[in-house]
A and B are shown apart, each in its own frame.
Chain A
Amino acid sequence: MAFKTSVQKYSGSINNLELGTGENTLSLGGQNALPFYNFDGETGSGTKIGLEILDVYPESWIPALKALYGSAIDSTVAWAKAVEEKYAPDFICLRFEGADPNGLNKPVNECAALAKEVAAAIKTPLVIAGTQNHEKDLKLFEKVAEVLEGKNVLLMSAVEDNYKTVAAAGVTAYKHKVAAESSVDINLAKQLNILINQLEIKNESIVMNVGSAPVGYGFEYVASTMDRIRLAGLGQNDKTLQMPIITPVSFDTWNVKEAASTEEDSPEWGNQEERGIAMEISTAASVIAAGSDAVVVRHPRSAETIRAFINAMK
């Protein structure tokens, strides 16, 4: 028998979606094959990498990360500019940790003013992340969407509890994009997409955040959920599951023991910064292999490695 390449053609494709404005616009999606399967078809514009910054001083971050940005880290605007100049990520993820009612509970107006200042200071497309308190996020995203009108940002995330306001304000009123967040289950992801769709919001304005987990922590659910979502979108041409996927890798990986345990606590494990970076890189590479079109990481070294990894796979 002669050797023959095994090719799998799919009838569906992932929607192409743009974030940001002008020459700094970035596109997500557009593929009709699984990640890196370029022997099957088009693999799209490639996974985009974002760096995470906060609206407050990152108290809980490891010292090595805090030291990296010097005094710029004291001001969110200066921090955003430093990230843009030094590391040129595809997007910046501004996370409003300070708005959390269980923390500083900063007022919505103050957050919106900061978002506006950050957006004015940089050219890089923005992803706005909230507090994971659904009620607060609803008000936060509504106001931030208003002040960022025309910037074409991604609001992450709309969940079942607050999607009506977040998606309607964000997309219908101010023409941004919205990430539908569900927790690691293909049916929940599909259902939320349909609900948002019923607000007369086009599928082309929706990104999915289908949930994440660090490797070693139930990551099998993440991997299989993404596999199934991609196979449904590509293979069965399921229009309700053809949105690009974004995964906020850094939100979880830095909290698990492998990354959070200091050298004092676990001397046999060695350098904490290295462990944190390795956890972040392993998780990011794995969600990209499973189907993520965008990942958020925290350490510039992770961003650099993941970029080189994506380039090596082109």
Chain B
Amino acid sequence: MAMSGLDIYKLTPKTNCKECGFPTCMAFAMKVAAGGAEISKCGHMSDEAMAKLSESTAPLMKAITFGTGDNEYKLGGETVLFRHEETFVNRNRFAVCLTDAMTQEQVDTRIANMKKVDYVRIGEQMKAEIVALQYTGNKEAYLSLINKVKASELKVAYMLICDDASVLKDALPLVQDELPIVFGATNSNYEAMVALVKDKKLPLGLKAANLDELYALAENVQKLDYKELILDTGIASAREAFTNAVQIRRISLKEQDRTFGYPSVVFVNELAKGDKYMEVALASLFTMKYGSIIVLDDIDYARALPLFGLRQNIYTDPQKPMRVEPKIYPINNPGDNSPVLITVDFALTYFVVSGEVERSKVPVWFGIPDAGGYSVLTAWAAGKFSGSVISKFIKESGIEEKTKCRKLIIPGKVAVLKGDIQENLPEWEIVIGPDEAMHLPKFLRTLEGIN
């Protein structure tokens, strides 16, 4: 449990030496309890007191790292139950599951799909970040599966799903330099499993029949002084997995119990039982509610587009709008006679407007100046989307060389800027667009004289 300011105060030297930057030891202790200062600022505490304090002032949910290089990821470290309270920090990661029971064709197809689904959305790379390799009983096939995936040059982090420590003894060396997750510690094997992962500090996945047993298992593993853990939400049913995901998060953050202070793994592939659309529904639910690793049966664009988009939304700072990079975006293959359409760099506006322009099939140079990441009216009110901002952008973006057309379309909501822009860009015809993006297709087609 977290310590109160008074508890911490009792451990300080109580000399009010002010070296920590606070006027009294009491003031310092209160600040530490509130998470506003580090105990290490006090140089006069006994080692014993320090150990006690670093334990109890550590974050309630541990952040776990795995993988290497470009494929290194962090999970957990979350501080709130709802994202409006504070940002969700470490986004969930999607895994695709391969087993030793699959045919070579099945394995090849999944690897090919994982390579194929790899794209950038609003500056972020979108792909299944983990390959989950599941042992089902054939050790030779399992080892060759691991070797095959390694040889495929798939750029991923690894998760070995296996509860047989003797199999892992041979399997783990194949990928241990990739710092994989090892999943499969149970009540009957946890000592052997901890021994396997301890040297490299690899994350260890714990599984049990229910939350009660999972809790006891987590306690036992912690007694072995091992704390790089990931907790399984179970595969009995979607209902139970959801209850467990919520309880794990709540027990760690709300009840402040570090026994469950770890990220979770949800085997959506097992819960959906081969129904791809159910997999999308459940993966969406667990992206919203507390899945840290979400294991899928396979990946394709139909699954990826909504799931990665949802994740990108949920793991954003509630205080800061999402932005797109200010520049000229060509839509529908514009040429040297296509008009220029301007809007703001607020990601939502960009998506809605670009979608409607695409729908119109009219070739357009789509210009996004730096407008502070706000919506049209907010940016205008804040002076970030003014006549001079737009004119300057037109002059500096190089668009005047890309097109001979001198039609500049501005959002209807900032029609008042027309005069201002006209003054700065006398060669351009400033056209006032519609108030709402949904009216753009009709507007653009009329403008270009297309029926």
Contact = CB atoms under 8 A, between A and B. Distances in A.
Name which of B285, B314, B318 has the most chain A CB atoms within 10 A of its CB: B285
A86 interface: no
Interface in A17-69: 36-39
Given A216-B351, A220-B318, 7 more contacts: A39-B243, A102-B442, A218-B351, A282-B280, A285-B282, A309-B278, A312-B271
Contacts of B280: 278, 281-282, 285, 305
A216 B310 contact: yes
Contacts of A219: 309-310, 313-314
Given A6-B247, A268-B116, A282 B355 contact: no
Contact of B301 (A2, A270, A313): A270
A213 to B, nearest CB: 8
A105 B82 CA distance: 44
A306 interface: yes
A271 B355 CA distance: 19
A257 B82 CA distance: 29
Nearest to A256: B355
Interface stretch (B20-28, B252-260, B417-425): B252-260
Contacts of A278: 277, 280, 302-303, 305-306
B125 to A, nearest CB: 15
A282 B280 CA distance: 6
A305 B275 contact: yes
B237 interface: yes
B50 interface: no
A253 to B, nearest CB: 9
B239 A312 contact: yes
A123 interface: no
A220 B313 contact: yes
The 9 closest A-B pairs by CB, nearest first: A216-B309, A282-B306, A3-B215, A215-B310, A218-B348, A285-B281, A274-B302, A224-B84, A220-B313
Interface string B51-87: 0000000000000000000000000000000111000
A224 B285 contact: no
Interface in A201-224: 213-220, 223-224
Given A270-B301, A282-B281, A313 B310 contact: no
A285 B279 CA distance: 11
A300 B415 CA distance: 43
Nearest to A260: B359
B212 A3 contact: yes
Q: Chain A, interface size: which category?
A: 35 or more
A36 B238 CA distance: 11
Contacts of A224: 82-84, 318
Q: Chain B, interface size: which category?
A: 35 or more
Contacts of A260: 355, 358-359
A218 B323 CA distance: 11
Contacts of A80: none
Contact of A258 (B237, B242, B306): B306
Given A3-B212, A224-B84, A289 B239 contact: no
B351 A256 contact: yes
Nearest to B347: A218
Interface in B340-371: 347-348, 351-352, 354-355, 358-359
Contacts of A166: none
Given A258-B305, A275-B305, A1 B257 contact: yes
Interface in B215-241: 215-216, 219, 237-239
B212 to A, nearest CB: 5
Name which of B211, B212, B254, B306 has the most chain A CB atoms within 10 A of its CB: B306
A217 B352 contact: yes
Contacts of B358: 257, 260-261
A281 B309 contact: no
A8 B359 CA distance: 47
Interface string A264-284: 000011110011011101111
Given A39-B247, A279-B306, A216 B313 contact: yes
Contacts of B313: 215-220, 223
